[in-house]
């Protein structure tokens, strides 16, 4: 092809664009419990290839699942940590509210309450969902 892309690359991109949204337990929980559409692997930046682990575009809420906290995963390496700072700060400038959780806490009631509070905008410090 003239632009340097192979026919295979173009075909794969077309197939990816036509695929239905990925559904998993968390997106189903959002739909049933929070009554909102949650998108897994949501590409939020028009130029960079950044994606949120989960996003509720209607409310500009993102949820990042930070793996490898105790095992030295990508998010805790110097390069990964600095990359995350750039991504999260850019997302914030674009109007997104970025919340972070761990794989272990993703399905916990506190995480669902946190997102529910963000959607409703009814935050009260004494009733914060993440406080015991």
H-assigned helices in the chain:
7-18, 25-29, 78-93, 109-120
**Is 2 within the bounds of a domain?**
no
pLDDT at 123 (0 to 100): 83
**Is 45 within the bounds of a domain?**
yes
Per the structure, how many domains does the chain have?
Answer: 1
Under DSSP, the state recorded for 33 is: I
**Is 132 within the bounds of a domain?**
no
Range of the domain at 94: 20-114
**Is 95 within the bounds of a domain?**
yes
Listed residue (128, 125, 44) closest to 52, CA to CA: 44
CATH number at residue 30: 3.40.960.10
**Is 6 within the bounds of a domain?**
no
Entry field: residues in the chain = 132
Q: What is the pLDDT of residues 58-116, one digit of tens each?
A: 999 999 998 765 555 665 677 888 999 999 999 999 999 999 999 999 999 889 989 99
DSSP class per residue in 6-21? -HHHHHHHHHHHHSPP
pTM above 0.85, yes or no: no
């Amino acid at each position: 092809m003239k632009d340097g892309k192979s026919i295979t690359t173009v075909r794969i991109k077309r197939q990816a664009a036509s695929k239905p949204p990925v559904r998993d337990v968390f997106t189903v929980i959002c739909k049933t419990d929070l009554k909102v559409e949650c998108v897994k692997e949501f590409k939020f930046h028009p130029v960079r290839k950044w994606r949120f682990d989960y996003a509720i575009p209607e409310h500009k809420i993102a949820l990042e699942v930070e793996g490898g906290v105790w095992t030295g995963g990508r998010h805790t390496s110097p390069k990964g940590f600095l990359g995350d700072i750039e991504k999260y700060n850019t997302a914030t400038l674009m109007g997104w509210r970025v919340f972070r959780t761990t794989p272990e806490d993703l399905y916990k009631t506190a995480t669902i309450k946190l997102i529910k509070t963000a959607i409703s905008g009814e935050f009260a410090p004494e009733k914060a969902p993440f406080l015991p």
